[in-house]
Amino acid sequence: MSTWRRAALAMLIGLCPATAAPAFDALSPSLPTNYSPPDGDTEGGLWMASRQAEEEIAHSPRRIADAALETYLRDILCRLAPEYCSQIRVYVVRTPYFNASMMPNGAMQVWSGLLIRMRDEAQLAAVLGHEIGHFLRRHSLERARDLETKTSLLTLFTLGLGGAVAAGGVAPAVAQGASGGAQLAALGSLFAFSRDHEAQADKYGVQLMAKAGYDPAQAAAVWRNLVDEQNASGEKQDGSSYFFATHPDPASRLETLGGYARELGGQQTIDAGQAHARYFAAVGAHLPGFFADELHLSQPGRSEHLFKQLLDAKFAPGVVNYCLGEVSRKRDGGKLSDAALAYYQAALGYPDAPPEAHRAIGLWKLKAKQLDEARQHFTAYLEQAPQAGDRDMIDYYLGLTEKAP
Amino acid sequence: MSRVVFILALLLLTGCEQYQQVKSGRNEVGSFSVTTEAPIWNSVPSGHSPGSLPTWTVDGVTLNSLSFVSGIKDGSPLVTVHDKSKYPVFHSDMLPNEIAELVQSTVARLFTATISRTGELKPLTISGQPGFELEFEFVTDDEVIRRAFVGGTVKNGELQVVVFQAPRMHYFEKDFGHARDLIVSAKLP
Ligand SMILES: [Zn+2]
């Protein structure tokens, strides 16, 4: 969006609220631009801990070092907070739970489980906007000062726990002992942002996304998706219940976010189609790996809901249909089921069908003793995936299809 | 840490009756009968072993472990844990590809790990039975890349698997030869 339009929009937001809705009382940053705190004080300590945590993330084996993906995410952050663009760095971490967090020094981490739960760029902008909200309002500093009155933060840093204070996030303890440092996550929950901070970050996030030209209604949609997924899972003790435990009640949050969106009105200037294409271009190549991580969580109810949503959103239909086949097969106790087979066959109707769809049908047919079809599918798999790590095993199955009478 | 220091540490920490050095020669573990050439292995008390599986180690379970998963019946998970519903289960008609995935999902859950490389799956004959060998990598939540070597077969409808795992850097290669020989020559009743 051009500068004048952004300025005009800011004026609209600031001075001319939509007539039907109450005025939106806009937030402003407490963090100066191009700021770096003096060493030695509380904020200096926080930044030092952040730099250490950032160093660990940068060298983590879970980091997805894809410069194009990082640039894509950073571009969204810069659209949301252009004045702070030069202070922001993004790291993508391969962990199959919903989380993003921003450290006080401007280092942000985004987990792969979050990326597969976004339907478009506006939803991603909503989550990133929420995190920038914490960053611009220096919530970590407020939290640290609050803790200082209860205990000596210096002691925390000496014990190496400072990073936990530095690395709070959308869902610091979203994963039960999972991910980017289980201890860090557990400690993060001790030092979670207050509900006031969360509410403020929610509001700031919607404000920033609307100003940048995204549909502000998508902020509520993010949480609605998560609530639906949780309800569909029928599973209690898992990552997302931690998420709900550390965050404001999702129902009231949805309502509040929806209210902000109505107050801010529909000033969308970002082309939704182009944004979707950009999002897919950045994330697409990683989807098979991210989906495989989701499947390894062995939570079929939740996974099935997620993949069906992605199918509705016409998101990588070949890969998603294959994953639905996998979920369906596992949920049916690994038994042969028509539902699973139908998904695998549907996958093959799309150009992005993974070779593994052929393998899955081949295994099915081999068990059902439909040997000619098994052979065809195993052969197709090896043709499409000549470097497959299970090549020798598939050759062994091919031998079985020939020996039989 | 040298093995001597490690074992001394174990003696101090846990009392000598718990960790036991495994004698050279033939040993029975679960359904398996295995042969060890060098006296490098120590058996781990079940309270300290991943998934309460019969487990051996050279340098401690975080540095290397050899776990024996034996006699798994249709409908059962591979590990003994209290929250069994979280673990995928074995079915006696599973093909090696499905068992490989079952092992990886179990490892992902047990170690809160991400499978970082699906690796290689090949046929392997164990105790005269057609079986499989699998090698893959995973990242645990201590940010360590680990490698696993798995050998297994299904006999009389029951799954029999041995899993060796260690950090990819240094530890896997150090004892992989011993572990592989032991797995490949394992006998089942
Ligand atoms: Zn937050």
* pLDDT above 70: percentage of residues in chain B: 91
Better pLDDT: A233 or A160? A233
Q: Tell me if B172 sits within 8 A of B147, measured CB to CB.
A: yes
Structural domain includes residue A311: yes
User: Whole domain around residue A212: which residue ranges?
Assistant: 3-264
Structural domain includes residue A226: yes
Residue A220 shares a structural domain with residue A308: no
Structural domain includes residue A157: yes
Structural domain includes residue A269: no
Contact yes or no for A298 and B109 at CB 8 A: yes
Q: Any idea where the domains of chain B sit in the sequence?
A: 21-185
What integer pLDDT is reported at residue A150 of this predicted model?
A: 63
Q: B101 to chain A: nearest residue by CA?
A: A296
Residue A46 shares a structural domain with residue A172: yes
CATH fourth-level superfamily of B21-185: Mog1/PsbP, alpha/beta/alpha sandwich (3.40.1000.10)
Q: Tell me if A240 sits within 8 A of A306, measured CB to CB.
A: no
Structural domain includes residue A275: no
Contact yes or no for A295 and B98 at CB 8 A: no
Structural domain includes residue A360: yes
Q: What single-letter amino acid sits at B182?
A: L
Q: Tell me if B133 sits within 8 A of B124, measured CB to CB.
A: yes
pLDDT digits (tens, 9 = 90+) for A307-334: 999 999 888 999 999 999 999 998 877 6
Q: Which residues of chain B have pLDDT under 70?
A: 1-17
CATH number reported for the structural domain that contains residue A352 in this entry:
1.25.40.10
Nearby residues of B53 by Cβ (< 8 Å), 6 or more positions away: B46, B67, B68, B69, B78, B79, B80
Q: B108 to chain A: nearest residue by CA?
A: A296
Task: Provide the number of structural domains found in chain A.
Answer: 2
Residue A257 shares a structural domain with residue A293: no
What integer pLDDT is reported at residue A247 of this predicted model?
A: 63
Residue A259 shares a structural domain with residue A323: no
**Poorest-pLDDT segment among A68-72, A160-164, A264-268, B181-185:** A160-164
- In which residue are the tokens 């999972």 written? A178
Q: Tell me if A270 sits within 8 A of A262, measured CB to CB.
A: no
- Show the DSSP H helices in A59-166 as ranges: 67-80, 112-115, 121-136, 139-150, 153-158, 162-166
- Average pLDDT over every residue of A362-367: 95
What integer pLDDT is reported at residue A135 of this predicted model?
A: 95
How many whole angstroms separate alpha carbon B118 and alpha carbon B115? 7
Residue A30 shares a structural domain with residue A177: yes
Contact yes or no for A333 and B143 at CB 8 A: no
User: Read out DSSP for A216-279?
Assistant: TTHHHHHHHHHHHHHHHH---SSHHHHHHHTS--HHHHHHHHHHHHHHH-----S-HHHHHHHH
Nearby residues of A63 by Cβ (< 8 Å), 6 or more positions away: A57, A91, A92, A93, A94
Which residue from B88, B82, B87, B79 is spatially nearest to B163, judged by alpha carbons?
B79
Write down which residue in A264, A298, A323 finishes a domain: A264
**Strand A107-111 with A89-93, pairing:** parallel
Query: B43: helix, coil or strand?
Result: strand
Mutate to test the interface with B, among A97, A298, A366 (most CBs of B within 10 A): A298
Res. A194: pLDDT tops 90: no
pLDDT digits (tens, 9 = 90+) for B114-158: 999 999 999 999 999 999 999 999 999 888 999 999 999 999 999
Structural domain includes residue A276: no
Mind telling me how many Å the CA of A242 is from chain B's nearest CA? 16
Cα A260 versus chain centre, distance: 23
Mind telling me how many Å the CA of A186 is from chain B's nearest CA? 12
Using alpha carbons, list the distances in angstroms from residue A44 to A31, A136, A155, A238: 14, 16, 15, 36
Q: What single-letter amino acid sits at A234?
A: G
Res. A340: pLDDT tops 80: yes
